[in-house]
Amino acid sequence: MSQTDARAVILERIRAAGASSSAPAEVPPPPPDTVLDESAMLELLVENLRDYRAVVTEVNGPELRPAVDAVLQRHGCRTVTVAPALDDSDRPTDAFTVIEDHGLSSQELDGIDAVVTTSRVAIAETGTVVLDHDGGQARRALSLVPDVHICIVRADQVVTSVPEGVSRLRPSVEKGLPLTWISGPSATSDIELNRVEGVHGPRNLEVILVR
Amino acid sequence: MTTTSSNPNPLADTMPTFIGMPKFPTMAKEALGNTQQRRNLQHATHTIRAKRAAVVGEMNDWEALRRNGADTKDEVLAHLDTYLEQLEAKLVESGATVHWARDAEEANRIVIGLVQAEGVDEVVKVKSMATQEIELNEALEEVGIAAWETDLAELIVQLGDDRPSHILVPAIHRGRAEIREIFRNKMAAVGRPAPEGMTDEPRQLAEAARLHLREKFLRAKVAISGANFAIADTGTLVVLESEGNGRMCLTLPETLISVVGIEKVLPTWEDLGTFMQLLPRSSTGERMNPYTTMWTGPAAGDGPQNVHVVLVDNGRTHVLADEVGRQGLRCIRCSACLNVCPVYERAGGHAYGSVYPGPIGAVLTPQLRGTGSAIDQSLPYASSLCGACFEVCPVRIDIPRMLVHLRTQVVDEHRGTRNAESSAMQAMAWMFADNRRLQKAQRAATLGGKLLGKRTSLGAIPGPASAWSGARDVPVPPKETFRQWWSRTDGGRR
Amino acid sequence: MRVALFATCFNDTMWPETPKATVRLLRRLGVEVEFPPEQTCCGQMFTNTGYADEAIPLARSFVDVFEGYDAVVSVSGSCTGSVREQYGDLAKRSGDTALVDGVAKVAPKTYELSEFIVDVLGVTDVGAYFPHRVTYHPTCHSLRMLKVGDRPLQLLREVRGIDLVDLPSATECCGFGGTFAMKNADVSVAMGSDKVRHIRETEAEVVVAGDNSCLAQIGGLLERQRAGVRTMHLAEILASTEQEAS
């Protein structure tokens, strides 16, 4: 009862504030997006990812599995979690213990060294990868709890600007999928405004860009 | 039942004043005496100012982006009722539960009820200005629920039994050595202690926070957040952060309660294209903050399955009713205005007596709370009107104009009760109303100038002028005004 | 073109050398300014302190006095800013449509000195001579309300003999802010002290600005510190000539 009251009262206060009487305002469009050709766009993505301390490996299709292995080796990882839907071609080889996620608990995830995911979109201008957590991208906890996140980005997923990235993501949102935007590893600037990488999220973000 | 539902001026109890808060100048004077804090603030504000300028400078047409941001927010405010109804419908459709709260007390009551229904005695929290504004942590504590702040700076403030002094970096007033002491002395009482041998190196301090909070994240059943944006046409909530504490809270617990001010709505999903550029570049001075989470109700098999949204008014509709003040509701809490403000840099955030410090606080707080108290009457005057805040605001809030508007409101509210200032102002206004009166006053001034002979300035003088002359010399009036010269020489032609 | 000088109450009473220099300068540039003696004060101090009712009659009087001129030149960026950016709000509050119309006519033709010389007269070399080391402080209202940009610097760069040096953190407020200087004296002095420190770092003999109110703050601190740096209004440097110097 009180809830209905609150809703009605707030809406009534808004109407009484006189702000809702005018005709729809015409909002002029935002400035046009930056346009880059594909190679400049990929170069910018790599540059901006690195600027925010992500490690980037650029590979051709067949080199992907060895590249995943190499990253895991570099971090001394033994256990890796993946979504059951992750393609074989995107997974590490048998040299590592691959644990498929069939509802791992947070505590279980905390004991795993690394995660391999795909992504939905990458934005060059800001050095951002976006996951909608469908298929091989795994549910959110997987790319959050283990300390090494290996994220596979395919060249055709890359856009130049933030507005382009946003429009590409509408279908995911309409399906009700959650999104995680990631720009470099976890960081804080809370101590004297100095940037420190690595707080709660994975302290290592490894992006493998597949051309 | 609430006490303010039918009150057209629902202030005073919308946002609590920090207890017994004196006026801004008194608080500022105290802060100026704290040299450690001044050094911390100077360093921090200048660092972030430069970072912001650099990433804004990268943009082709920042001004057009700002205008689009401001216009979009104005459109929201012009049709806020419609957008809120649309947001609510989309949220419900996506499986979220929507609650409405007229004021702080009602919002806190709703949240407490939801937490108690889960049968837990602790919650993890993502940094949120809205929950600070309504003093949710204190309300939870009263009923025996511990609210763990998980943002590093909020953790420093909470463990230090301190108050936030900045919107983005609440512990900006603290240096690394102080933070080390707080962690060493306070962490053990509420969970995992700080590591042995921890130095004051920022990396080690961040590591201590990681270890301390991890156990809390992994066991938490309920999380509380705010939202930077709420998208009306999709029912999506958006939280920007850096450390991953936000992702932990928004992903691992079973229940998520988000407290959202009603002005946070954006009309369409595509509007994020503008705001995801404006906010990170203006707040942390990055092209993009490390992490952003966006969710549209509960997602099957992924993250919290009970998703609640509490839409809070708490004085916002009162701000909306003011034609000039309304633009304050465009604010996206980036804190760029704090970082460039010469007054904030020297006075610090605590002097503003509110969770919203700095230029935006000086306009927002007296609007949300009203101008009844001494601190709230002094806030609109806590500015030299230099305009640096307006220049950097990503949604073009004309803060200087709003400050003048609020000063006028303060004076208007006191018309009829005479004081030294109003008497002086009225006497001067009378003098300026007629140039003959002005000339008469000028003759007295030039007489003074002649009596003082060759001196060009005076040192400290007692009385009301001491506010000026305590540290600044006073110029001596000239022996002849311009007006006297003009008529004596026919404008220099004689 | 009929041009009126708005001397401003503060300069008329306390700093008459500034409007006098303005008259000499403009006359040298071929502009015969008039000084309508009915002028008093633009009301900025009242407006900015919250005394809108006291400011409205002053706005009305400003409009009455200056309505008939083609251009109004003022020696204060801050007072010009008040006329151009704040009179609209005052007129609206008064509910007097005649005042609203009057403001709409007078405000756009009210200029700060450097705007008038560069934009209206189209001149940057005013034939001045000033053989001294000078640093320029851009005042907040000329910079951010009027957006005069680098017009004052364009004028100063053409001055013969001048040694113009950059002021560190130039765009930071000096801390004057009208009644702010009294109401928040401690913060105001802290801001001013930093400004003065930067000025002294330049080792300039003279600090120049387009507003004597800011210069009163800066000068008051410099005098108290016996810093040996003079304050001068832009008009006074631009009016200086070789003949005067010799």
Is 90 exceeded by the pLDDT of residue A171?
yes
Mind telling me how many Å the CA of B314 is from chain C's nearest CA?
26
Query: CB of C51 within 8 Å of any CB in chain B?
Result: yes
CA angle at C236 for the pair C233 and C239, rounded to the nearest 5°:
150
Say whether pLDDT at A154 is over 80.
Answer: yes
Cβ atoms B329, B128 nearer than 8 A = no
Task: Reply yes or no on whether the pLDDT at B21 is more than 90.
Answer: no
Question: Percent helix, strand and coil across chain B, each rounded to 5?
Answer: 55, 10, 35
Mean pLDDT over B309-328 rounds to 95
- The pLDDT, as a whole number, for residue B11 is 46
- CA nearest B294: which of B20, B94, B38? B94
* Minimum distance, in Å, between the CA of residue B123 and any CA atom of chain A: 16
pLDDT of residue C218: 98
In the prediction, which pLDDT does A193 show? 80
Token readout for B462 is 């007692």
On whether the CB atoms of residues B308 and B96 are closer than 8 A, the answer is: yes
Contact C51 B429 (CB under 8 A): yes
In angstroms, rounded to a whole number, what is the distance separating the alpha carbons of residues B66 and B53?
14
The answer to whether C185 contacts B25, with C-beta atoms less than 8 Å apart, is: yes
Mean pLDDT of B132-141: 97
Name the pLDDT band for A19 (thresholds 50, 70, 90). low
HSE-CB for A122 with a 13 A CA cutoff: 30
Cβ distance of B78 and A198 shorter than 8 Å? no
Write the CA distances from C185 to B18, B32, C188, integer angstroms: 24, 12, 5
Q: Which residues of B touch A127 (CB under 8 A)?
A: 287-288
Length of chain B in residues, anyone?
494
**Top-confidence residue, C239 or B458:** C239
Rounded distance between C-alpha atoms, residue B6 and residue B102, angstroms: 10
- Counted residue by residue, chain A has a size of 211
Higher pLDDT, A131 or B8: A131
Q: What percent of chain A has pLDDT over 70?
A: 95
- Chain A residues with beta carbon closer than 8 angstroms to that of B320: 13-14, 17, 19
Contact of B175 with chain A, judged by CB distance below 8 Å, is answered with yes
CB-based contact A195:A189 (threshold 8 Å): yes
* Tens-binned pLDDT, residue by residue, of chain C (246 aa): 999 999 999 999 999 999 999 999 999 999 999 999 999 999 999 999 999 999 999 999 999 999 999 999 999 999 999 999 999 999 999 999 999 999 999 999 999 999 999 999 999 999 999 999 999 999 999 999 999 999 999 999 999 999 999 999 999 999 999 999 999 999 999 999 999 999 999 999 999 999 999 999 999 999 999 999 999 999 999 999 988 766
Q: How far apart are CA B231 and CA B90, in angstroms?
A: 9
Model confidence at B62, pLDDT cuts 50, 70, 90, reads very high
Residue C246: the pLDDT is 60
**Residue B417's pLDDT is what?**
86
Would the CB atoms of B404 and C20 count as touching at under 8 Å? Answer: no
CA B117, CA B105: separation in Å to the nearest integer? 18
Q: Where are the alpha helices (DSSP H) in B150-231?
A: 152-159, 176-190, 202-219
Q: Would you say B228 and B335 are in contact if contact means Cβ atoms under 8 Å apart?
A: no
Residues B396-451 have pLDDT tens digits of: 999 999 999 999 999 999 998 888 899 999 999 999 999 999 999 999 999 988 88
Q: Which residues of C touch B391 (CB under 8 A)?
A: 144
Mean pLDDT of the region B329-340: 97
Residue A197 binned pLDDT confidence (cut-offs 50, 70, 90): confident
**Which range has the worst mean pLDDT, A174-178, B14-18, B42-46, B290-294?**
B14-18
> B238 with A166: CB under 8 angstroms?
no
pLDDT at B332: 98
In angstroms, rounded to a whole number, what is the distance separating the alpha carbons of residues B321 and B314? Answer: 13
Chain C interface test: which of B455, B472, B473 (most C C-beta within 10 Å): B472
pTM of the prediction?
A: 0.95
Question: Mind giving me the DSSP string for B197-216?
Answer: T--S-HHHHHHHHHHHHHHH
Question: Got the DSSP string for B440-472?
Answer: HHHHHHHHHHHHTTT--EE----GGGHHHHTTS
Give the Cα separation of C20 and B298 in Å (integer): 73
Over residues A15-37, mean pLDDT: 79
Structure-token pair, residue B230:
């709420």
How many angstroms separate the CA atoms of B486 and B491, rounded?
4
DSSP 8-state symbol, A89: G
Q: Which helix (H) or strand (E) holds C243?
A: helix C242-245
Contact assessment for residue A189 and residue B242, using Cβ atoms and an 8 Å cutoff: yes
C145 touches chain B (CB under 8 A): yes
Give mean pLDDT, residues B381-399. 98
Using the beta-carbon criterion (under 8 Å), do A188 and B206 form an inter-chain contact?
yes
Nearest-Cα distance to chain B for C3, in Å, is 14
Query: φ, ψ for residue C17 (rounded to 5)?
Result: -65, -25
Q: What pLDDT score was predicted for residue A192?
A: 83
pLDDT (0 to 100) of residue B134: 96
Partner residue facing B435 (CB), from C39, C50, C85: C39
Mean pLDDT, all residues of chain B: 93
Task: Give the pLDDT of residue A1.
Answer: 45
Chain A: partners with 3+ C-beta pairs within 8 Å = B
Please give the average per-residue pLDDT across B336-340, as a whole number. Answer: 97
Residue with tokens 């302190």: C49
Do C9 and B468 lie within an 8 Å CB cutoff?
Answer: no
pLDDT confidence bin for A108, thresholds 50/70/90: very high
Q: Which residue has the higher pLDDT, B7 or B421?
A: B421
Count of other CB atoms within 10 angstroms of residue C203: 10
H-helix or E-strand containing B399? helix B399-413
Question: What's the mean pLDDT in B203-211?
Answer: 95
- Record the tokens describing residue B62, joined without a space: 């920042």
Q: Which amino acid is at B75?
A: E
| Residue B420 distance to chain A (closest CA, Å) | 36
Q: Find chain B residues with C-beta within 8 A of C145's C-beta.
A: 387
Residue B5 has pLDDT above 50, yes or no: no
**Contact B408/C53 with Cβ under 8 angstroms?**
no
CB–CB contact B171 A190 (8 Å)? yes
Element (H, E) at B257: strand B255-261
Categorize the per-residue pLDDT at B236 as very low, low, confident or very high, splitting at 50, 70 and 90: very high
User: Which residues in A lie closer than 8 A to residue B291 (C-beta atoms)?
Assistant: 180-183, 186, 201
Cβ–Cβ below 8 Å for B287 and A183: yes
DSSP of B473-493: -EEPPPSS-HHHHHHHHTTTT
CB contact under 8 Å between B475 and C14, yes or no, is: yes
Mean pLDDT computed over B181-188: 97
C176 contacts B384? CB cut-off 8 A: yes
Confidence of residue A75 (pLDDT cuts 50, 70, 90): very high
Give the distance from residue B224's alpha carbon to the nearest chain C alpha carbon, in angstroms. Answer: 38
Residue ranges of alpha helices (H) inside C82-128 are: 87-94, 97-106, 113-115
Residue B407 has φ and ψ, to the nearest 5°, of: -60, -40
Question: B340 to chain C nearest CA, in Å?
Answer: 9
